[in-house]
Structure 1
Amino acid sequence: MLTRRFDGKSKVVCGYPISIFFIVVNEFCERFSYYGMRAVLVLYFKYFLQWDDDLATSIYHTFVALCYLTPILGAIVADSWLGKFKTIIYLSIVYAIGQVAMAVSAIHDITDSDRDGTPNNMTFHVVLSMVGLFLIALGTGGIKPCVAAFGGDQFDDHQEKQRRTFFSVFYLCINGGSLLSTIITPILRGQTCGIYSQQKCYALAFGVPAALMVVSLVVFIVGSGMYYKAKPEGNIMLSVCKCIGFAIKNRYRHRSKAYPKRKHWMDWAEEKYDRLLIAQIKMVLKVLFLYIPLPMFWTLFDQKGSRWTLQATTMDGNFGQLVIQPDQMQTFNPILILTLVPIMESVVYPLIKKCGFNFTPLKRMTVGMFLAALAFVCAGVVQLQIDKTLPIFPSTSESQLKLLNMGNNQLEVHLPNNFTVHLPPAQIDDLTSKPEEGNNAIRFVNGLATDLNVSTAAVNFGIIEPLTSSNYSLLKNGKHTFSLKSGSQSCEYTIKFGFGSSYTIFIPSTFTFGPNCQESVTEVEEIKPNSVHMALQIPQYFLITAGEVMFSVTGLEFSYSQAPSNMKAVLQAGWLLTVAVGNFIVLIVAEIAKLPKKWAEFFLFASLLVAVCVIFSIMAYFYTYIDPTEIEAQFSQEKDEEDEDEKDKMRKTEEHVTKRGSVKSNDSDNAFKLSKM
C-alpha cells in the first residue's frame, strides 16, 4: 500500500519504492565514471601530456583534493536553495560536460600527432583536460552528499529496515562500479587508436566513463516523477558557523577581566543562541578536534592511484595466461574491501571481543593508520628491489659510447683516459631512459651489403640501408615474429619479450636467408626486462585496504554515533575535508622533501604516519565517549521545565493582575457612590 510520502506517484515493490532503482543505477554509473577516469589519469598525465612523475602526481592529488572540498558547497546549495533533486540534476550536467571534455582532450587527429603518438598542439590538450577535471571535481563533489541522502528521503519513517538495506546496496554499488571500472578502463587505454599504432587510446578510456555519466544522468531524470522531493529547510552548517562566529566575536568583545569566565568558549553565544544548539556544537567540535591528525592517513591512501601505479609500470605484470596492466592493480582495493568488510564485522571483531579486549572505534582507527604505514614500508622495500634492476644511465656531466662491430672478426679497442672520438655520419641516438609502460625498445642493425626490410604485425621498421641501424620502436610483451626481406629473399625471425627491456638485433654479413635464419641472428640485451613481479604489490594493497576498513568504515560509524541528530551532515563534511587536506599534504611533503629516490619517499610517508598515529592514540586515550541522544534529551527536558516555569510565572502574573483589577473596580464603584451622596 502506498503511503502519503510518495503522493501516489511511486509504486512500491516488496516494500521498497521503485524510485530507489533509479537512484541505485545512477550511483553505480556515476562511480564507474569517476573511478574509471581516475584509474588511468596519472598515466594520461605522464604518457600523453608528457609530464614527469612529480608533476603528474601533484596534479592528480590536487584533483582528488578538489573532489573532497566541493561536497561542502553541494550540501549548502542543496539544503539552502535548490534542494537535493535539482542540485543532483544541475551538477550532474556539469559533471558530464567535464567527462566529455576529458575524452575530447585525449583525441588525436591526423594533423596533431607525431609518429610516437605525442600531440603537437599540447596547450590545447592541457587546457581542455584541466577544465574537464575542474568540472568533474565540482560535479562529483557537489552531488556526493546529496545522492545517498536523497535515496534515504524516499522511505517513510516506518521503513527503517528497508532504508538500512538501501544503504547497504548503495555501498555495494559504489564498490561494484569502482571494481568494474578499474578493470575495464585500463584495458581500453591499452588499445591502439588513431592512424599510428603507437598511440594508446586514452580517448576511449575517458570516453566510456563519459558515456556512463550521461547514462547516469538520463536514468536519474527518467525517475523524476516518482521521487519524493523534500524542500530545502536551511543549512545547519550555516547556523553552526554563525553561532561559532558569534561566540568568538562576543568573547573577544568581552575579554576584559570585569566579565566572569565561562566553562567553555562556546558559552559566550548564550546571549543570542539556544543552549541546546550550543551543546550540540560542543559535541561536534569535540569530534572535529580528533579529526586533526586524520588527513595523514589519506595522504598515504590516495597514493595508490599515483605513486603505486607509477611503480607498477616498472614491474612484470605477467600472471601466466593473464597480463595485468599497471593501473589494473588498483582493482585489488575494491575486491579486498568487499571481502574484508564482512570478515571484519562477523569474524575478526567478535573474536577480539571474546578475548576480552575492548577494541573501541578509536583503537580500530589507530590500528588502521598503523597498517597503512606498514603498507608504505612494503612499497619502499619493493621499490628497493626495483631499483636494483634499473639500468645506470650517464649523468648530465657524462657521455655514453657504444661501439658496434660489424666485421667477422673480434675487434679489440683501447680507450686511454683522455681520448677524442670522431663519430661517423651514421651515428644514432641511444636510449636515455628505461622503456616505460612495460614496452620493449627494439632496433635492428643491418650488416648486409644490401638493403633490409624489417616488419612485424605491430610495427614496420622500414628499409634499413647497409651498415646502418633503424630507430628504436616500442613493442608489447610476448612473442613477436619479424619478417626479414632483402630483394627476393625473406625469412621469419621470432623472439619473446618481457616488460621494459631494450634489444639491439644484429643481422650479420654472414646472415643466410632460409628456414634456419633464426640461428644467424645476434641479439644483444641492452636493458634487462622488468624482473620484479607485480604480485609483490599485493601485500601493500592488502595492508592499505585492511587499514581502510578499520580506519574509514569505523571512522564513519564513530562520527555518526558521536554526532547530534541534526548535525550528522556537518561531521560528514568534516570527514570529507580530511581527505582533501590529506591530498594537499602529498604535494607539500613531496615539494619540501624533494627526495631523489622513490623508496626514500615511501619510507618518509610511513614514518610521518607512525608519528601521527602515536599522537592520535594519545588523543583517543583522553577522549570520553558520549551519547548525543541523552544529552539532547537532557537539554530538551531542562528547556521544557524552564518553559513550564515561565508559563507558571506568566499565569501567576495574570492572576495577580486580574485580582488587582477587581479591587480597583470595587474602589471606583465606592468612589462613584460617595460622589452621588
Structure 2
Amino acid sequence: ALLKFSCKGREPSCFGYPLSIFFIIINEFCERFSYYGMRAVLVLYFKYFLQWNDNLSTAIYHTFVALCYLTPILGALIADSWLGKFKTIVSLSIVYTIGQAVMSVSSINDLTDHNQDVALYMDFFQVDEGALSMTGLILIALGTGGIKPCVSAFGGDQFEDDQEKQRTRFFSIFYLSINAGSLLSTIITPILRAQECGIHSKQRCYPLAFGVPAALMAVSLAVFIIGSGMYKKVKPQGNIMIQVSKCIGFAIKNRFRHRSKEFPKREHWLDWASEKYDKRLIAQTKAVLKVLFLYIPLPMFWALFDQQGSRWTLQATTMDGNFGSIQIQPDQMQTVNPILIIIMVPVVDAVVYPLIKKCKINFTPLRKITVGMFLASLAFVAAALVQVQIDKTLPVFPAAGQAQIKVINLGTDGATVQFKSPLQSVNVMSMESTGYMTFDTSQLQSVNIISGNKNTTEVIMLPGGSRHTLAVKNAANIVAKWVSLLNSQDMFINNLPDTINITMGDTPFETLMSFSASNYNLFPGGRKDNIMAIINSIPCSVTSKTLGFGSAYTIVINGCTGNTLDVTYSEDISPNTVHMAWQIPQYFILTCAEVVFSVTGLEFSYSQAPSNMKAVLQAGWLLTVAVGNIIVLIVAGASKLSEQWAEYVLFAALLLAVCIIFAVMAYFYTYSDPNEIEAQFDEEEKKQVKKDEDVYEKQTEAVSRM
C-alpha cells in the first residue's frame, strides 16, 4: 500500500482514503461471513441435529432473526450515550465471538455421548445441546445487532469534511464487502456441514460449519483492534432517539393534562411539547413520525423475505440437488439471492430505471416500494406452485391409528405373507420386497408366513403412526423378524450366518449378528460411497448405487464373491424428483422485489429524514425487519394449515392486502425536503439573533446616554 502523511494532521492514508477504513472493511467482511455462514445452516441444524420438527425449527429461526434486528436499538443507545462507537464494537464483538464458539461446542455430540465426565457435568447442571445452542444464539443476536448501527457510522467518522467523494465510495465498498461475505459463507458453510466428522462417531460436521464462522469472527475482532491507533474516535454526544422519545412523551402527557376547552387546540398534537422543547426538534420529530407511519405495513414484506432461510431451505430438502457434476445442498440454494443481487442492482439502476423514465412514468420511491411488495407476494405464489408439485412426490406416512408394513424376503424360496384382520395376502419372491402397506393397528392381529412346505404365525402388536419392516427367511425353519420398528429405518441387514462389520464411506456401522439390522444413518444425497464389510476377517467391498436426495434404503448383505460384496437394495423412501432448479424463479422474483424495496426504502428514509434524525429512521427501518420475523411466528402458529403450499398462499395473500393498504397510504403522502425545513429554521434563528443584537445595541446606546 502507498502511504502518505499530510501536513494537516490527518491519519495515514492510502490512495486518498484513510488507512483505518481498510481495517473496518475487512472487519465487516469477516463479521458478515460469520453471521450469514452460521445462519445458512441454522434451520437444518435444528431439524437434523436437535431433531426438532419443521414448525419449531422455523419458529426458533425467525425468533433469532427478530432478536438480531431488535438489538441495534440497544447498540445505538450504548454507543451514543455511554461507550462510544469504538468501545461498543469491541465489547459486543467479544460477546459475538463467544456466542459463535458456544454454538460450535453445542453441536459436538461426541463429547457427551462418549465422555462420562462431561455427560455427568452437563446432567448435573441440566444443560443440553438445545439450551447451549439457545445461549449461543442470544449472545450472537446481541453482538451482531449491537454492532450493526455502529460499524458503518464509525467508518464514516474516519473521513474529513472535504472527503465527501471518498466517503460515498467507502459506503459502496462497505456494501460490497457485506455481499461478498454473505455470498462466500453461504457457499462454504453448507459444504462444511455436509462433511463427516466426529471424535468417536461420524456425524454431519456442524461443529466445523459453526466453528469456521466463529474463527472468522475472532479474526474480525482482531483486525478491528489492530487498527485502533489509526481510528478517529468521536466521543459519545447523546442519543437523539432519547430526545425524540422524551419530546413525544411530553407532548402526549401535556395534551391529556390540558383536555379542558379553555386551552386552544393546536395544529398538530406534537405542538403540545412546545412549552419544553424548541420548534426545530418538534418539526424534525414530525417529519420522522410522518415516515415511521408509512413503515407500519412494511414488516409484512420481511415476513416473506426472511423465509428464504427457513421454509424455502426446508422446501429444498425435499428436492433433487443434482446439477450434473455439482451436487447442491439445500442450504446452498440461499446463495442464489446474493448472486442475483450483485447482478440485478447495476442492471436495475443502469437499464430498468432509465427505460421507465424514458417511458415518462413517474416511478417514485413509494411506488417502487409498492411494486417490491407485490413482487414478493408473487414469489410466494411461485413457491406454492413448486410445493404442490413436491407434495405429489412425497411418501404418505401413517396416521396416529395406523401402521405401515413392508416385507423383505431374504430366503431362496418365494413366500406368501397373510395379514389378519382384515385378511390381506401378498406374495414376495426371493430377495425382493413389497411396498409399504397401511393397516389400522386396532384391527391388525397376526401374520401367517408360508414358504415352501413350511409356515409360521406371528402375533402382531405394533404402535401406530410408524413404519415397520418384516424380514422373512426360509432356512431350516421359517424365520420372521421385525428389523425396523417405530420411526427408525434400517440401512443394512446381515443375511449371512456370520457376524460382520460394515463401513460405508467414512461412516462405520455397528457390528451385525446373523439376521440382524443396523440403525439408519444419514448420507449426502446424489453421491456414491464404498461399502466395506469384514466377513471372517476377509474384507469385501462394492460401490453403492447413487443415493438419491431424500431417499431411504435398506441394503441386504448376501455374501462375498472374490472380495466383491453381494448386496440387494430395498427402497424405503423414493428419491426426490422435483429439481432444486425450480426454486430459481421464486428466488429471482424475490430478489427483484428486494432490489426495488430494500434499496429504495433506505434511499427514501435517508432523503426524508432531517440530518440529525437519520439514525432514528435507520433504527425504525431495522425494526420493521424484526417485526416481520415476529409476524412469521404469529401467522405460522395461528394458521394451523396442514399443507405447506396453503401457508405460502396465505402469506402471499396477506402481503398483497398490505400492499394495497400501503399504496393508498403512499398516494396521500407528501414528499418534503428536510434541508429546506432546516434552512427556514436557520433563517429564523439568524433573524432572531439579528433582532437580539439590535435590541442589545439600543440598550447599550441608552445606557451610554445616561
Structure-2-length-normalised TM-score: 0.86
Residues 452-463 of structure 1: matches in 2 within 5 Å? 454-461=502-509
Structure 1 residue 111 displacement after superposition: 4.6
Which of the pair is proportionally richer in helix? Answer: 1
Distance in 1, Cα, partners of 2:210 & 2:537? 46
Residues 63 and 137 in structure 1, CA contact (< 8 A), matched pair in contact too: yes
Distance in 2, Cα, partners of 1:77 & 1:350? 43
Aligned partner (choices 144, 147, 150) of residue 143 of structure 1? 147
- Please name the residue that 1:311 is paired with: 315
- Please name the residue that 1:211 is paired with: 215
Distance in 1, Cα, partners of 2:247 & 2:564? 87
Structure 1 residue 641 displacement after superposition: 2.1
Aligned partner (choices 483, 487, 492) of residue 428 of structure 1? 483
Residues 96 and 136 in structure 1, CA contact (< 8 A), matched pair in contact too: yes
AA of the residue aligned to 1:64: V
Aligned partner (choices 474, 482, 491) of residue 531 of structure 2? 482
Structure 1 residue 239 displacement after superposition: 1.1
Residues 458 and 475 in structure 1, CA contact (< 8 A), matched pair in contact too: no
Distance in 2, Cα, partners of 1:15 & 1:181? 31
- Please name the residue that 1:320 is paired with: 324
- Please name the residue that 2:689 is paired with: 643
AA of the residue aligned to 1:349: Y
Distance in 1, Cα, partners of 2:44 & 2:563? 42
Structure 1 residue 204 displacement after superposition: 1.2
- Please name the residue that 1:292 is paired with: 296
- Please name the residue that 1:499 is paired with: 549
Distance in 2, Cα, partners of 1:474 & 1:372? 35
AA of the residue aligned to 1:51: W
- Please name the residue that 2:57 is paired with: 56
AA of the residue aligned to 2:602: L
Structure 1 residue 483 displacement after superposition: 4.2
- Please name the residue that 1:528 is paired with: 574
- Please name the residue that 2:38 is paired with: 37
1:405 corresponds to 2:409: yes
1:350 corresponds to 2:354: yes
In structure 2, the CA distance between the partners of 1:652 and 1:15, relative to structure 1 (3 Å rule), is same
- Please name the residue that 1:604 is paired with: 650
In structure 2, the CA distance between the partners of 1:429 and 1:564, relative to structure 1 (3 Å rule), is same
1:131 corresponds to 2:135: yes
- Please name the residue that 2:606 is paired with: 560
AA of the residue aligned to 2:148: K
What is the number of equivalent residue pairs in this alignment?
644
Deviations 1:433-462 (A, max 9, x none): 8x8xxxxx633351x555566543334445
In structure 2, the CA distance between the partners of 1:627 and 1:298, relative to structure 1 (3 Å rule), is same
Residues 605 and 617 in structure 2, CA contact (< 8 A), matched pair in contact too: yes
Instruction: Give the secondary-structure state (helix, strand or coil) at the position aligned to 2:390.
Output: helix
Higher mean displacement: 464-473 or 198-207: 464-473
Deviations 1:485-521 (A, max 9, x none): 655887644422211212234466xx78359976xx5
Please, which runs of 5 or more residues in structure 1 have no aligned partner? 436-440, 663-677
Please, which runs of 5 or more residues in structure 2 have no aligned partner? 423-442, 447-458, 461-478
Distance in 1, Cα, partners of 2:414 & 2:501? 27
Structure 1 residue 91 displacement after superposition: 1.3
Residues 439-454 of structure 1: matches in 2 within 5 Å? 442-444=491-493, 446=495, 448=496, 454=502
In structure 2, the CA distance between the partners of 1:609 and 1:462, relative to structure 1 (3 Å rule), is same
Residues 197 and 458 in structure 1, CA contact (< 8 A), matched pair in contact too: no
Deviations 1:382-413 (A, max 9, x none): 11111111111211101223333344443344
AA of the residue aligned to 1:640: K
Residues 250 and 269 in structure 1, CA contact (< 8 A), matched pair in contact too: yes
Distance in 1, Cα, partners of 2:599 & 2:105? 37
Structure 1 residue 353 displacement after superposition: 0.5
1:572 corresponds to 2:621: no
- Please name the residue that 2:23 is paired with: 22
Residues 406 and 467 in structure 1, CA contact (< 8 A), matched pair in contact too: no
Instruction: Give the secondary-structure state (helix, strand or coil) at the position aligned to 1:496.
Output: coil
Deviations 1:102-144 (A, max 9, x none): 1221223355259xxx999683322222222111111111111
Instruction: Give the secondary-structure state (helix, strand or coil) at the position aligned to 2:531.
Output: strand
In structure 2, the CA distance between the partners of 1:55 and 1:173, relative to structure 1 (3 Å rule), is same
1:472 corresponds to 2:520: yes
Higher mean displacement: 104-113 or 356-365: 104-113
Residues 489 and 513 in structure 1, CA contact (< 8 A), matched pair in contact too: no
Residues 542 and 564 in structure 2, CA contact (< 8 A), matched pair in contact too: no
Structure 1 residue 372 displacement after superposition: 1.0
Distance in 1, Cα, partners of 2:537 & 2:81? 80
Residues 557 and 565 in structure 2, CA contact (< 8 A), matched pair in contact too: no
1:630 corresponds to 2:684: no
In structure 2, the CA distance between the partners of 1:113 and 1:548, relative to structure 1 (3 Å rule), is farther
Instruction: Give the secondary-structure state (helix, strand or coil) at the position aligned to 1:624.
Output: coil
Residues 27-176 of structure 1: matches in 2 within 5 Å? 27-112=28-113, 123-176=127-180
1:543 corresponds to 2:598: no
Distance in 1, Cα, partners of 2:129 & 2:324? 37
- Please name the residue that 2:335 is paired with: 331
Structure 1 residue 529 displacement after superposition: 0.5
1:282 corresponds to 2:328: no
In structure 2, the CA distance between the partners of 1:35 and 1:600, relative to structure 1 (3 Å rule), is same
Structure 1 residue 223 displacement after superposition: 1.0
Distance in 1, Cα, partners of 2:131 & 2:553? 37
Task: Calculate percent identity across the aligned residue pairs.
Answer: 64
Distance in 1, Cα, partners of 2:229 & 2:335? 37
Residues 110 and 201 in structure 2, CA contact (< 8 A), matched pair in contact too: no
Instruction: Give the secondary-structure state (helix, strand or coil) at the position aligned to 1:525.
Output: strand
In structure 2, the CA distance between the partners of 1:75 and 1:4, relative to structure 1 (3 Å rule), is farther
Which of the pair is proportionally richer in strand? Answer: 2
In structure 2, the CA distance between the partners of 1:205 and 1:450, relative to structure 1 (3 Å rule), is closer
In structure 2, the CA distance between the partners of 1:449 and 1:619, relative to structure 1 (3 Å rule), is same
Distance in 2, Cα, partners of 1:92 & 1:481? 44
Instruction: Give the secondary-structure state (helix, strand or coil) at the position aligned to 2:403.
Output: coil
Instruction: Give the secondary-structure state (helix, strand or coil) at the position aligned to 1:308.
Output: helix
AA of the residue aligned to 1:621: Y
AA of the residue aligned to 1:634: Q
Instruction: Give the secondary-structure state (helix, strand or coil) at the position aligned to 2:569.
Output: strand
Structure 1 residue 76 displacement after superposition: 1.4
CA RMSD of aligned residues (A): 2.6
Deviations 1:181-212 (A, max 9, x none): 11111111112221455411111111111111
- Please name the residue that 1:666 is paired with: none
Deviations 1:329-362 (A, max 9, x none): 1111111111111111111101110111111111
Residues 276 and 636 in structure 1, CA contact (< 8 A), matched pair in contact too: no
Instruction: Give the secondary-structure state (helix, strand or coil) at the position aligned to 1:402.
Output: strand
- Please name the residue that 2:473 is paired with: none
In structure 2, the CA distance between the partners of 1:310 and 1:19, relative to structure 1 (3 Å rule), is same
- Please name the residue that 1:673 is paired with: none
- Please name the residue that 1:619 is paired with: 665
Structure 1 residue 600 displacement after superposition: 1.3
Structure 1 residue 26 displacement after superposition: 0.8
- Please name the residue that 1:246 is paired with: 250
In structure 2, the CA distance between the partners of 1:267 and 1:4, relative to structure 1 (3 Å rule), is farther
Deviations 1:273-307 (A, max 9, x none): 11111111111111000000000111111111111
Aligned partner (choices 391, 399, 404) of residue 395 of structure 1? 399
Distance in 2, Cα, partners of 1:66 & 1:246? 29
Distance in 2, Cα, partners of 1:256 & 1:263? 17
Residues 500-515 of structure 1: matches in 2 within 5 Å? 500-506=550-556, 513-514=561-562
Residues 276 and 632 in structure 1, CA contact (< 8 A), matched pair in contact too: yes
Residues 182 and 327 in structure 1, CA contact (< 8 A), matched pair in contact too: yes
